[in-house]
Structure 1
Amino acid sequence: MEDFARAVEDGLKLSKRLVLPGGLPPPRPPAGMERGPDAAAALLLPAAPMAYAVVSDPGAVDTPDVPSYQPYVYGRLDPPALIPLQMKEIDLAVDCALDTAAVTLRARWWLHCITRSRECDVRLVVPMGEQGSILGAEVTVGRMSYNTQVTEVEDQTMENTMKGILKPHMFCLTIPQVEGGADIVATVRWSQKLHYDNGRFTVDIPFRFPYYVNPLPKVFMKREKIQLTVNSGFSKEVLLQGTSHSLKEKARQGDKLSFLHEAVVENWSNKDFTFSYSVYSGDLSGGIHVQPSISQDYDDRDTFSIFILPGSGNRKVFKKAVVFVVDTSGSMKGKPLENVKNAVSTALSELVQGDYFNIITFNEELHSFSSCLEKVNEKAIASANDWMNANFVAEGGTDIMHPLNEAMALLSSAHDALPQIFLMTDGSVDDEHDICQTVKNELLSRGSKSPRISTFGLGLYCNHYFLRMVASIGKGHFDAALETGSIESRILKWFRKASNTIVANISIDATGHLNDFEVDSEYIPDISTQCPLCISGKYQGKFPETVVATGYLADMTEISIELKVQHITDMPLDNIFAAQQIALLTAKAWLSADKQLERKVIKLSIENSVLSEYTSMVVLQTNLDAAQKVKQKPKGRTGANEPLRFQLHGLKLGFGDKAATRENLLTAFGDEKPLEMLKIFKKAGGCCSRVADCLCCMCCIKACNRMNDQCAILLAQVCAALSCLGCYECCAEVCCGGSES
């Protein structure tokens, strides 16, 4: 992200050429830009929806209406500078239902930094919240419209492509050739998870706009609108806990609330939008929501969801027998392994008297902190930290099966505690299918006493669907970190969610009343104090009025939770659970290689506009004037007025990179990339290497020594001519090849 920050810094410097009405000074780069690349990136990365002018020709930078008559600037910028555009209007709509928030954002920018006689690309960047998943975008510029669409992956790669993501959970869309002074109106939709902590649900949306996107107050009125609806899904009182922006309650009807904030503001928001609420629940409580299937295309069964809150009854947490299984292969070198070590050290400090633990590191070999489970005490924790400092060394390859078997063997002696394995890796291995089968066999053989296996993926080289499948089979939790800076915090959140179990071995008695009952996950996970239980599935038949969920508490007594069945129409369950269903079905399709499951994922993905591994997101460019004039054509015929299609890339995770794992390439994160040489050095290196290939032979050198003067002169002239041609080609490509936006 250092390159992006540097491009924005260049753009802010370039905007000094602008002479704004009213004599206001142009924006300045934030103070502290010289403190290092990390500080620069943190200051200039978008923390709210932003639009940037992609400027390759500095001579085009000027105010659209009032020329500044600045001296002409020659040359081109490579890479281009990014000038933040001023925003005229913002409208945010948030719909919270169960554990998910559906967000719709509409904003209007204007290209204030390019003269009207010139054009440039405009790049939109929209940061999303917790586990954000893009659903679609619509952009209108004059009479041109750009719309995203999820389609089935085509056999042939499109010629027109554009980058669809700047960094994880940060959607990016480039609009080509926008005329100076034009308005850019964008509507972006995404879904994200609500954060749950101590009985409180919180939605957190990046909404911190820098001061330099504020247009002149005397020229433009800045309209800010925020709409919020809450549908808890329970027939219980919803308690408001806090909000970052002033909201006026519009309506309250049982468990449904709506709020509104609308005003003409002097400056755009300088803080994220957060809203917290809780559902009154003294103890474990929940419900079942059922809804007729909207689509008969991919599954004609009806939809259900089970939602159970842990409550505030201070239920006792299970004693834990924990084994941390940590990848220390060579690809984990540097910050990834250091952050993992810090997270494991913090997790160890959160264990209590009566818990057990052990640590296993693996690469091509296996190393254990102890030969057996250790009781938690200050001395054991201190020894474990010393052992990690000495043994967390990144080297060697990756072998997951051996340490996983060793961890399950260690936990076979844990009779008075809940056995749990926490696997952390950044690699993809060849025997992933065998590992899944081994975990499934262990679960079947040990029954309710089988270890819970939670998995955590680091970077882009690991197979996230393999790790998700292992966690689903092992009744554990899956999470991943796609940015180096988020590793430690996400591991701790993942560990706390999985380790604070209050009800285990949950079963539902609905199967006796229904013809068909299928949960999306392999097994129903345990209930934790750190997150509500929220699962979905399909069924056929008729639910009774109440269903009983049974499980076991920490003292091994059985508990029954009565779940009232609610037939709902105002909450789209298929949309709420679409991303979760697609991820789980994709993991199942990967494991079983079932083409029918893949087709089901494709249909589900297209219908809900949620991208999957088997679909693509494309941008359709349409001329609105031409679209109105064109008459409907017979099927199978194409014309010049059909929308131009651009494929967005970088939005999918893939199924791991075994080649990168075997070669021990450093962990790939969305915020890092390998250093690249300048083009001229690449060219020079290529020329030199080819010449060296020809002259490295000793026989060739001896032959040159025996040449007479005439042959030597001729050879020198030929080499000089070839060198001139090579330099001409190199300079032509580097200097005159144009610029990429």
Structure 2
Amino acid sequence: MQTLTHFVRFGLLLLGCLWTALAAHATSLSADDITQGSLMMRNDRGEAEALPLLNTDVSIDVTGPIARTVVTQEFKNPGDTWVEALYLFPLPEDAAVDRMKLLIGERVIEGEIKEKEEAKAVYEQAKAEGKRTALVEQDRPNLFSTSVANIPPGGSVSVSIEYQQTLGWKEGEFSIRFPMAITPRYNGALPEPTHVVEQTGSLNSGWSLLPGERPNQVLPLADEEIDRPVSLRLRLRAGFELAEVKSHYHKILKSQGENGEVDIELAQSSVQADRDFLLSWKPVPSQQPNAALFAETSDKGRFGLLMFTPPQLDGWEKPAREVVFVIDTSGSMGGQSIRAAREALLNGLAGLEAGDSFNIIEFNTDTAALFTSSRPADDQNLRIAERFVSRLEAEGGTNMFPALDLALQPSDSQRLRQVVFITDGAVAQEQELFSHIQRKLAGSRLFTVGIGSAPNTYFMQEAALAGRGFFTYIGRPDEAAEKMNALFERLAKPVLANIQVSGEGVSGFAPAVVPDLYAGEPLVVAMKLSDENSSVQIQGQMGDTLWKQSLAIDAVDQQAGIGIDWARRSIASWQRGAARGVDADTIRNEVTRLALDFHLVSPFTSLVAVDKTPVRPDTESLDTKALPGKMPQGLEVKQTLQLASGATGYELSLLLGSLMLFAALALLLWQRRVNGSDRELSA
């Protein structure tokens, strides 16, 4: 027995040494490792280093339907070596990033748009030559990265990024959102493929900021203090008299300017980047719009933006519905998010009416339904559902595919089938999920409800678009009742389905496929205008009624930014083509052409700026430092022990093999010990 005890102790010591060595190696990273997506920041000796400080200043100018935002990030180097700073940051999913400036003291170097590989090569060459240089790349439609090289010891460099977005209205309210935090994404297993494309690569499951691409930030623990101050100012020129201006999650100060404009700034000089900034405003009832047309003529051509609210059908009777609630209970929903999700689901149940049927699907790593099939929304079934919801907790991964399969399965019911999907959208396989939704949708409609301080709104918006529904955002538990009541009012009033847009003297409609509209929601279409006498024809189905509208276009106003808006919407429309089976090369060529023509950052183009004068001596080395982001406010992720992403397959095999060998030897000794005891007893 003593021999076995010694062996066990030796084995544990050996495993401890192996684990320590593996962890040390996995977190010893070079500049190339970080660029490729390492989650840890260590120097060549495996020692943690202080990261550069970062300040962010945001200035937003809203004019009518167009918002122009300038984000200035200041990178400071407190160390005694030259550094390269890498920073991943969120922007609105509809941001058209078209300008970048590298600010060095009084000097301003303008960024140039180039194809992604060329821009990267220009940046790497300038970095190697000791020149100050900056690169802005799009990692996903709502995630961008900045790389800034050759920041001198004790010095600083600022990078200014400018983007445009178009603001529409919904239920009589305009809004703008500036994202400040990133919820970690889950990268799970994909469903069985329907087509086979042979490529090489790797796919890891688990939590990270940007699986498989650029997870170059250390995800902080909930109690870790990381200072990420953001200052924000906004000038609002709405173009009509305002009845209300409201900030939903930050305290603000308002002052009245000239010509009815409103100046807004944060009540504090700066805030931490742990929740999104959301501002909304409403016109006085007498100036509530139901249609708007904006146009711009430039050297790129003549462009128009149409916003139109179709009339509601009088005497509409609510159809009997089958409502399937899907709730995300994965680890990223921990804390405030799961509380808000439970409140949202309970309020959704309360919105059901006599004659409706319902079911609830919960998913994390696994998927389970409350009932085997939808049940009537009577008192008994609702009480069962309420007890089920009250016990939901957040843990595990965000495995959406089985949940979507179960929610979108074919139904023999003649009811209007509506799927309400409650999640933070913290997934990595966005494009695969959009394609999956389109394949499975059939006669259902998918409505997404975004939960938390920093949900993945790109996924939420696009998933709803693929599901021919709409997106609702709930940032706090106390908003759940109001937002879900409004959601169910709209669900009961579908306005226009199977929409088609055509016209004379117009072309290039974006989006190419128009989603269904619901009460209080405008139709928004960008287009190219070819001559002065243009008109647009809109048709769709209202219940059993075919509705048509013809609108003459007589645009004389010059609204700056309409051309860029058309290009951004066209790029998004081409990217959605992947889910419809459009050839990947065609998508890449069209997106690249539009992005280069309109000077936009895209999946295939980047902005790069280079100071022509070398500043770092050849004798000085360059350290690369990844800046961690703050945990979104209210998020409580249960920490699990994981290997750093730098660990290789060989090292994992070594560790697992050692564990298996140790277990086998221990079992062998135990068996011999038992057999020996048995022989002694037999004797």
TM range (shorter): 0.5 to 0.7
Q: In the superposition, relative to structure 1, how do residues 519 and 319 fare at CA in structure 2: closer, same or farther (>3 Å)?
A: farther
> Does the aligned pair in 2 maintain the 1:167–1:671 contact within 8 Å?
no
Q: Does 1:78 align with 2:47?
A: yes
**In structure 1, distance between residues paired with 2:359 and 2:268:** 52
> Does the aligned pair in 2 maintain the 1:513–1:542 contact within 8 Å?
no
1:206-355 mapped onto 2 (5 Å cutoff): 228-230=235-237, 237=241, 239=243, 241=245, 244-251=252-259, 258=261, 268-269=269-270, 276-280=280-284, 285-291=290-296, 295=300, 303-308=303-308, 321-324=321-324, 326=326, 342=342, 345-354=345-354
2:8 maps to none
Offset at residue 341 of structure 1 (A): 5.8
1:69-218 mapped onto 2 (5 Å cutoff): 78-82=47-51, 84=53, 92-98=59-65, 101-106=67-72, 119-121=82-84, 128=91, 134-142=97-105, 150-154=113-117, 160=124, 173-180=146-153, 182=155, 184-191=157-164, 199-203=172-176, 205=178
Q: Any idea what the Cα deviations from partners look like across 1:251-282, whole Å, max 9, x if unmatched? A: 46xxxxx55689xx999356998765333456
Q: In the superposition, relative to structure 1, how do residues 321 and 82 fare at CA in structure 2: closer, same or farther (>3 Å)?
A: same
Q: CA RMSD in A?
A: 6.5
> Does the aligned pair in 2 maintain the 1:422–1:453 contact within 8 Å?
yes
Offset at residue 356 of structure 1 (A): 1.9
1:460-475 mapped onto 2 (5 Å cutoff): 471-472=464-465, 474-475=467-468
Q: In the superposition, relative to structure 1, how do residues 285 and 316 fare at CA in structure 2: closer, same or farther (>3 Å)?
A: farther
Match of 2:411 among 405, 409, 412: 409
Q: Does 1:591 align with 2:580?
A: yes
**In structure 1, distance between residues paired with 2:245 and 2:55:** 34
**In structure 1, distance between residues paired with 2:246 and 2:329:** 44
1:600 maps to 590
2:445 maps to 452
**In structure 1, distance between residues paired with 2:438 and 2:227:** 52
2:495 maps to 504
Q: Any idea what the Cα deviations from partners look like across 1:333-389, whole Å, max 9, x if unmatched? A: 9789956962652342451535624225388987462644523x5544222233456
2:511 maps to 520
Q: Any idea what the Cα deviations from partners look like across 1:452-485, whole Å, max 9, x if unmatched? A: 33357999xxx9999977744653236899xxx9
**In structure 2, distance between residues paired with 1:241 and 1:305:** 25
Match of 1:436 among 428, 438, 448: 438
Q: Any idea what the Cα deviations from partners look like across 1:675-709, whole Å, max 9, x if unmatched? A: 336999999988777888999999xx99xxxxxxx
DSSP-derived class of the 1:536 partner: strand
Supply the AA of the counterpart residue of 1:184.
V
**In structure 2, distance between residues paired with 1:470 and 1:125:** 23
Q: In the superposition, relative to structure 1, how do residues 267 and 227 fare at CA in structure 2: closer, same or farther (>3 Å)?
A: closer
> Does the aligned pair in 2 maintain the 1:358–1:368 contact within 8 Å?
no
1:675 maps to 642
Identity %: 12
Q: In the superposition, relative to structure 1, how do residues 201 and 315 fare at CA in structure 2: closer, same or farther (>3 Å)?
A: farther
Supply the AA of the counterpart residue of 2:152.
E
1:544-559 mapped onto 2 (5 Å cutoff): 552=542
Offset at residue 189 of structure 1 (A): 1.6
Supply the AA of the counterpart residue of 1:436.
Q
DSSP-derived class of the 1:584 partner: helix
**In structure 2, distance between residues paired with 1:488 and 1:225:** 25
Match of 2:469 among 466, 472, 476: 476
Match of 1:573 among 562, 565, 572: 562
Q: Any idea what the Cα deviations from partners look like across 1:581-628, whole Å, max 9, x if unmatched? A: 323321213432323333112222334454444x143544322589xx
> Does the aligned pair in 2 maintain the 1:284–1:311 contact within 8 Å?
no
- Give 5+ residue unaligned stretches, structure 2: 1-39, 128-134, 182-224, 630-635, 670-683
Q: In the superposition, relative to structure 1, how do residues 679 and 549 fare at CA in structure 2: closer, same or farther (>3 Å)?
A: closer
User: Which structure would you say has the larger RCO, counting Cα contacts within 8 Å and 6 or more residues apart?
Assistant: 2
Supply the AA of the counterpart residue of 2:553.
V
**In structure 2, distance between residues paired with 1:259 and 1:178:** 38
**In structure 2, distance between residues paired with 1:226 and 1:430:** 37
**In structure 2, distance between residues paired with 1:102 and 1:602:** 23
2:612 maps to 623
> Does the aligned pair in 1 maintain the 2:329–2:392 contact within 8 Å?
no
**In structure 2, distance between residues paired with 1:405 and 1:294:** 47
Q: In the superposition, relative to structure 1, how do residues 136 and 163 fare at CA in structure 2: closer, same or farther (>3 Å)?
A: closer
Q: In the superposition, relative to structure 1, how do residues 154 and 148 fare at CA in structure 2: closer, same or farther (>3 Å)?
A: same
Supply the AA of the counterpart residue of 2:561.
P
**In structure 2, distance between residues paired with 1:125 and 1:341:** 27
Supply the AA of the counterpart residue of 1:582.
I
1:383 maps to 384
1:353-364 mapped onto 2 (5 Å cutoff): 353-354=353-354, 356-359=356-359, 361=361
Offset at residue 82 of structure 1 (A): 3.7
2:32 maps to none
Supply the AA of the counterpart residue of 1:141.
I
DSSP-derived class of the 1:369 partner: coil
1:12-27 mapped onto 2 (5 Å cutoff): none
Q: Any idea what the Cα deviations from partners look like across 1:413-437, whole Å, max 9, x if unmatched? A: 22xxx54233568586989868635
- Give 5+ residue unaligned stretches, structure 1: 1-53, 58-74, 215-223, 253-257, 297-301, 443-449, 627-639, 652-668, 703-741
> Does the aligned pair in 2 maintain the 1:134–1:171 contact within 8 Å?
no
> Does the aligned pair in 2 maintain the 1:466–1:587 contact within 8 Å?
no
Q: Does 1:421 align with 2:394?
A: no
> Does the aligned pair in 1 maintain the 2:322–2:357 contact within 8 Å?
yes
Supply the AA of the counterpart residue of 1:527.
Y
**In structure 1, distance between residues paired with 2:404 and 2:596:** 36
Offset at residue 138 of structure 1 (A): 2.0
**In structure 2, distance between residues paired with 1:696 and 1:165:** 47
Offset at residue 170 of structure 1 (A): 7.1
**In structure 2, distance between residues paired with 1:318 and 1:579:** 37
DSSP-derived class of the 1:586 partner: helix
> Does the aligned pair in 1 maintain the 2:435–2:579 contact within 8 Å?
no
Q: In the superposition, relative to structure 1, how do residues 471 and 413 fare at CA in structure 2: closer, same or farther (>3 Å)?
A: same
Offset at residue 247 of structure 1 (A): 3.7
Supply the AA of the counterpart residue of 1:249.
G
1:479-494 mapped onto 2 (5 Å cutoff): none
**In structure 2, distance between residues paired with 1:557 and 1:383:** 39
Offset at residue 103 of structure 1 (A): 0.4
Q: Any idea what the Cα deviations from partners look like across 1:494-538, whole Å, max 9, x if unmatched? A: 995586154522577974645757451423421333x54423345
Which of the two has higher C-alpha Rg?
A: 1
Offset at residue 403 of structure 1 (A): 2.8
